Amino acid sequence: MVDKRGPLLAVRDLRKSYGSVQAVDGVSFAVSRGSVFTLLGPNGAGKTTTLEILEGIREADSGEIEMLGNRVRRVTPAMKQRMGVLLQEGGFEPYLKVREILHLFASFFERSRPVDDVLAEVSLEDKAGALVRHLSGGQRQRLALGAALVNDPDLVFLDEPTTGLDPQARRNIWAIVERLKEGGKTVVLTTHYMEEAEALSDDVCIMDHGRVIAHGTPRELTAQLGQDTWIEFDTPDLEPEAWTGFPGEAQRDGSTTTVRTPDLVQTLDSLLRWSREKGVPLRNMTVRQPNLEDVFLSLTGRRLRE
Amino acid sequence: MKAVFRLARLSFVAALREKETLFWFVLFPLLLLSILTLVFGQLGQEGKMNFRVALADLDRGPSGRGQFAAVVEEVFLSLSVPPGPGKEPLFTVRQPAPGEDERQFILEQTEAVRLGRVAVLIVIPEGFSAAALAALSGSGPPALLGVYGSRGDAASGMAATIVDQVAARLNRELLTVAGLYRSEEATAVRTEWVGDTGAPVAYVDFLLPGMVLMGFFVAGLFSVSGTILFSRDMKILRRYWVTPLRVLQYFGGFSLGYLAMCVLQFALLVLVGRFGFGASVTFAQPLAVVYLVLGAVTFLALGFLVASLAKTAQSGMAIANLVNMPVMFLSGLFFPVASLPLFLRVIVLVSPLNYVAEGLRFSLGTGQLTVPLTLTLLVPLGWIGLSVLVVVRRLRWDVAR
Amino acid sequence: MKAFRELLWTQARVFLRDKIALFFTLFFPVVFILIFGFVWGGAEGPGMVTLGVFIVGEPDPVLDEVLSSQAGVSVQTYNDVARLEEDIARRKVGLGLVWDGRTLLFLQDPTRVQEGNALAQAARGIAAEIDLRRQGLTPVVAVERVNVGRALGGGWFSMVVPGIMAFSALFSGLLAVSGRITQMKERGLLDRLLVTPMSSTALLVSIATVRLVVGFISTSITLGLAAVLFRVEFDVNWGLYTVFVLAATLGSMGLGTVIALLVRRPGSASTVASIAAQIMLFLSGVYFPVEIMPAFLRALSAAFPLTYMVEGMRYVTGVADLSPTRFALITAGLLVVGFGLFPVLSRYVVSVGRR
């Protein structure tokens, strides 16, 4: 029974463990139709495991999956007809051409788009006749994305789509994701890049150690941190004694210090005075609103990127 | 089905684009066929072999050269003349230069034989003609012709055997000329061929079926297992499993691709065999086709078996190499494997390649069966069955995580 | 020095872990010898012919005499033609002879193509003898074979063993460069190692040392197996043997360098090397003498380094003779190729000529 008004994908109390390690520990969320949903978290948070369960290449210990109107424990081949999957890592036959790869993947589905359309969508038209082994990293990722979209899927899974890519390649992928959303597709993506989550997502689920620790739109999540302002600057290594008389609470990460304050002007004033008194230079000072990295930091005491 | 055929076509195309595959599975069998036929196919034929031979005649009495010695010398010299244009003579004969001391020559050439530079030294000893005359008249033993060779040197042994044959011919000639040998009373000699063939089988006709099967075998053992393991390790397969593609479809497509490779190998080998070396064996017979298909499918199964037993591509290749050597050498394709110690005989008894090869050769009329016909079918089928069992249980289509 | 020793151990460990290289350099020769030894070993070579005789009527003393004087033929008597034919088809007997007092009927299996020639020769020889004897004639001319070569036995197999040893050294040396080094280059390991104070020479020497040791061990194992298991008699000149194995391996490394330079893609170099080695093995006089090859193949064989390595190996193991000058020339040639190409190799290792 298909529920057209419900979420396209919902997960309830998903669990998966390996020996003593609980990789996915009671994860639940729902993804609205036509939205971009992001699982954000550091490496080892369980994002990929969760996604692989949803992609059908891993089996959950317990929990329920509701996808494309079906309530199942395990994803079926029939459901895969309407899914598109970009794996975190995977290869292609090195001696096949780009066009041949897409042509091959197209044959796996009942319905597929013309290969030329897909090539255009991922901007690989001029590489259509190139062998996979001659492609750059970014081009390979675009090919993988093309393979994931060749059946014009309703639900697209992107596992760490831009990891290891240069900024230009990353922007290319982001543009593709935007176009997918405009086309009414539902996208579930995982990442450990805060900027990616902020730029693309309608909905974010922050995961850590197999659990969902926060859920909401990027704005909602950062709003939890209140109206505080963040001041960030770099200092050379200092003795702990030098930090006496420091105005306000700060978190230090290497040589970067982050101060969180409700009253920007006053704190800034005190900081500058302290800097003059102690003779400590403040470099690369940024004053900004909280971001998801800060959310994670405040929830776990750790950074997203170790 | 669309997926299966597309997978078949693309896996075939991809394999051919890889230069290594192209060499080992397509060119190498052709190369081997050519070399083996060139070397062994013409063994004993005129104009193809050549041995370096030294000849010294010590039978020079005060009345000049002995008659018999002269005849012998002439016979050997006639073998040093090319039998036709573009052909090589059987012997390249070295003789002492005019004025050179014969005995010195003999010493030098003996040394040359020892060092392998000359195959044999033929010495017509002093008193040869007198002894020959005596032997002819029945009053003495045969005159001895000295043949100095190097034991263990295959070329020397072959040349010496040829000299034996020359001596036999010589004997008949001499006895005929002397009027003692009556050719009309010659013992009749006939050769009959055992079995249904009725005529000697050309070497290339013997070799070609074996080469075809060898091609299938290495393609199955190496290419099939290698590609599966590589595709799994590189997570190429994993990309397939997130689509609706089923394992069986992949398996089917891949297997068809392998069979296409076998067809290509077969076609090329038969073309080269027929038009390059004059092979006359025809594969277009029902039983032969059965064996060809059986062979291809058996080695496909073996490839999957190896893939099931190996954890990584590297260990898979190691297993394949380990299996390849004994099976190939003991397949009887390159040299006959008759009496062997038990542990090697086991390999011969168990190896599917031997059975299919025998069956194929029998169906083509180029071989006799040394085992019952049913076994030639059952043993390969048994291997297919065993492989299926192991594959279904053990072959992992995705890398362990 | 400590760094060099470390490097040496690392190279050794890497080699041991590379299953393919390990297989071809250590096990291949061993398995080869085992198989060939059991198939051919101890015999005088593929020369013994089994003859099955069926006599119609009375036994014939002439026939008996002729047959017993044939070296290389072992006789079995049959009372039944059908049985004889069956045994021929089953390959229990190579040649059949039916004698009815007038006609010599030889029976052969036409599908025994590989031995066909030898069998036909044996038949001819017997027929010729009988022909003469039956007319009450004795041969006028007889051949007396004198062996001027080494007195050791072993036959064909003992000639093959040094050939395999030479192949082993060749393969080991070739793959040291076109396999290991190009592999390191491909993986960027070379670049990483070279930014350390490690000199490229030290690296090359360590790789070479491992290969030399391995080459020596594998050829010696092959030798030992043949001697112990198959009782092949060798007369090894250990000093010359050591020198020659080293020279052969070094020379092969030099060849490997040539291949690595000619073949553009690093990954293909090892393939080309193994292909070259295997073709060479076939045509270098190891299995059969070059004399029976057609002229152009013979010329090709003379161009192969393996042909000369086999000659040298046969000499140092005491299986065949070689003029000392020639041996010295071969050894020197191998050393020159090896050492001479070493500096070229160093430059290759450091060069920017990557993919």
> What is the arithmetic mean of pLDDT over A1-9?
64
Express as a percent the part of chain B with pLDDT over 70.
96
Residues recorded for chain A: 306
Q: Write the pLDDT tens digit of every residue in A6-25.
A: 788 999 999 999 888 899 99
| Mutation for C interface: B79, B109, B191, B229, most C CBs within 10 A | B191
Q: Does domain B51-185 have CATH number 1.10.1200?
A: no
pLDDT score recorded for residue B72: 87
Instruction: Quote the pLDDT of residue C353.
Output: 45
Instruction: Look at residue A273 and tell me whether its pLDDT is greater than 60.
Output: yes
Residue C251 C-alpha, separation from nearest chain B C-alpha, in angstroms: 23
Mean pLDDT taken over chain B: 88
Q: Indicate whether A212 and A272 sit together in one domain.
A: no
In the sheet where A229-234 sits, what is the strand order? A250-253, A256-261, A229-234, A283-288
pLDDT digits (tens, 9 = 90+) for B7-32: 999 999 999 998 888 888 898 899 88
Give the distance from residue B346's alpha carbon to the nearest chain A alpha carbon, in angstroms.
39
Count of residues making up chain B = 401
Q: Which of A78, A147, A151 sits opposite B239 (nearest CB)?
A: A147
Burial class of residue C138 in the structure, from the number of CB atoms within 10 Å of its CB (0-12 exposed, 13-18 middle, 19+ buried): middle
- Is B278 an 8 Å CB contact of chain C? no
Same domain, A99 and A59: yes
Q: How far is B252 from chain C (nearest CA, A)?
A: 30
Distance CA C91, CA B369 (A): 10
Q: How many Å apart are CA C111 and CA C133, to the nearest integer?
A: 32
What value does the mean pLDDT take over residues C297-317? Answer: 92
- The yes-or-no verdict on residue C313 having pLDDT over 50 is yes
Distance of alpha carbon C250 from alpha carbon C256, whole angstroms: 10
In the numeric block, which tokens belong to residue C19? Answer: 């299953």
A55/B3 Cβ within 8 A = no
Domain boundaries, chain C: 2-41+154-350, 49-134
pLDDT digits (tens, 9 = 90+) for B112-166: 998 888 999 999 998 888 888 888 887 888 889 999 998 878 888 888 888 988 8
- DSSP for residue A125: G
Across the range A239-262, mean pLDDT stands at: 72
Enumerate the residues of chain B whose CB falls inside 8 A of the CB of residue A110. 244
Q: How far, in Å, CA of B12 to CA of B3, rounded?
A: 14
Contacts with B158 from chain C: Cβ below 8 Å:
289, 291-292
Interatomic CA distance for residues A250 and A259, integer angstroms: 5
Do A56 and A95 fall within a single domain? yes
Query: How far apart (Å, rounded) are the C-alpha atoms in residues C145 and B147?
Result: 5
List, for residues C133-161, the tens digit of each pLDDT value.
888 788 888 888 888 877 665 567 788 88
Lowest-confidence segment of A240-244, B103-107, B198-202 by average pLDDT: A240-244
Here the tokens at position A54 are 């949803």
Asked if residues B273 and B279 have their Cβ atoms less than 8 Å apart, the reply is yes
The tens digit of pLDDT for each residue in B203-249 reads: 899 899 999 999 999 999 999 999 999 999 999 999 999 999 999 99
Average pLDDT over residues C126-130: 85
State how far the alpha carbon of C183 is from the alpha carbons of B20, C140, C260, in Å.
16, 68, 10
**pLDDT > 90: what percent of chain C?**
11
- Asked whether the predicted pLDDT for residue C186 surpasses 70, the reply is no
Amino acid at A170: R
Tokens of B212: 């075809």
What single-letter amino acid sits at A21? V
Instruction: List B residues 196-225 in contact with C (Cβ-Cβ < 8 A).
Output: 197-203, 205-207
> Residue A2's pLDDT band (boundaries 50, 70, 90)?
very low
pLDDT band at A118, cuts 50/70/90? very high
Q: Which residues contact C272 (CB under 8 A, 6 or more apart)?
A: C178, C259, C263
SS3 content of chain C, % helix, strand, coil (to 5): 70, 10, 25
Tell me the chain B residues in contact with residue A100 when contact means C-beta distances shorter than 8 Å. Answer: 10, 13
| A232 and A126 housed in the same domain | no
pLDDT category at A126 given cuts 50, 70, 90 is: very high
C211-227 per-residue burial string, b: 16 or more CB within 10 A, e: under 16: bbebbbebbbbbbebbb
Query: C touches B (3+ CB pairs < 8 Å)?
Result: yes
State mean pLDDT over A293-297.
87
**Start-end of H helices in B219-312:** 225-233, 236-241, 247-271, 277, 286-309
Q: Which domain holds residue A23?
A: 9-216
pLDDT at C194: 67
Q: Give me the pLDDT at residue C350, please.
A: 63
pLDDT, residue C333, reads 93
Q: Which residues pair with A233 in a beta bridge?
A: A257
Confidence of residue A74 (pLDDT cuts 50, 70, 90): confident
Question: A300 versus C183: which is more confidently predicted?
Answer: A300
Residue A22 and residue A117 share a domain:
yes
Given an 8 Å threshold on Cβ–Cβ distance, is B198 in contact with C110? Answer: yes
Please, are residues A65 and A75 in contact by the beta-carbon 8 Å criterion? Answer: yes
User: Contact C111/B144, CB-based, under 8 Å?
Assistant: no
Give the C-alpha separation, C336 to C344, whole Å. 13
For residue B30, the model assigns a pLDDT of 93
Global pTM? 0.84
Q: Is it the case that residue A3 has pLDDT exceeding 50?
A: no
Q: How many CB atoms lie within 10 A of CB B145?
A: 24
Q: Which two tokens stand for residue A212?
A: 């969902």
Q: Nearest to residue B3, comparing CAs of B247, B336, B293, B283?
A: B247
pLDDT in tens, B319-371: 888 888 888 888 887 777 766 777 778 888 899 999 999 999 999 988 888 88
Q: What is the pLDDT of residue B183?
A: 78
On chain C, the residues whose CB falls within 8 A of the CB of B205 are: 113
- Structure confidence by residue, pLDDT tens digits, C67-110: 887 777 888 888 888 888 888 887 788 888 988 888 888 988 88
Confidence of residue C43 (pLDDT cuts 50, 70, 90): very low
A93 and A16 share one domain: yes
Q: What is the model's pLDDT at position B291?
A: 97
Of B144, B169, B326, the CB nearest to C35: B326
pLDDT above 70 covers what percent of chain A? 94
Which pLDDT does position C285 carry in this prediction?
86
Rounded to a whole number, what is the distance in Å from the CA of A200 to chain B's nearest CA? 24
Q: Which residue of B has its CA nearest to A97?
A: B14
- Going from N- to C-terminal start, the domains of chain B cover 2-40+202-394, 51-185
In a domain, A3, yes or no: no
Any CB–CB contact under 8 A between B137 and chain C?
A: no
**What pLDDT is recorded for position A243?**
66
Task: Give percent above pLDDT 90 in chain A.
Answer: 54
Q: Residue C24: helix, strand or coil by DSSP?
A: helix
- Chain A residues bordering chain B (beta-carbon distance below 8 Å): 55-58, 77-78, 80-81, 83, 85, 87, 89-96, 100, 103-105, 107-110, 131, 144, 147, 151
State percent of chain B over pLDDT 90. 46
**In a domain? residue A50:** yes
pLDDT (tens digit per residue) in B357-372: 999 999 998 888 888 9
Q: Let me know whether A160 and A77 are in one domain.
A: yes
For residues A86 and A182, state if they share a domain: yes
Contacts with B155 from chain C: Cβ below 8 Å:
289-292
**Is residue A113, in this structure, part of any structural domain at all?**
yes
Higher pLDDT, B267 or B182: B267
| Confidence (pLDDT) at C289 | 85
Torsion of CA A165, A167, A171, A172, to 10 degrees: -50
Interface test with B, best of C141, C147, C315 (most B CBs within 10 A): C141
pLDDT, position C219:
87
Range with the poorest average pLDDT among A98-107, B299-308, C137-146? C137-146
Q: What is the pLDDT of residue A208?
A: 92
Mean predicted lDDT score pLDDT of chain A? 88
Are residues A150 and A239 both part of a single domain? no
Q: Do residues A247 and A211 both lie within one domain?
A: no
Per-state percent for chain A, helix, strand, coil, to nearest 5: 35, 30, 40
Q: What is the CATH number of domain C49-134?
A: 3.40.190
CB of A293 closer than 8 Å to CB of A301 = no
Check pLDDT > 70 for residue C201. yes
- Average pLDDT value for residue range C215-241: 85
> Per-residue confidence at A115, pLDDT binned at 50, 70, 90?
very high
Chain-chain contact of C294 with B39 (C-beta, under 8 angstroms): yes
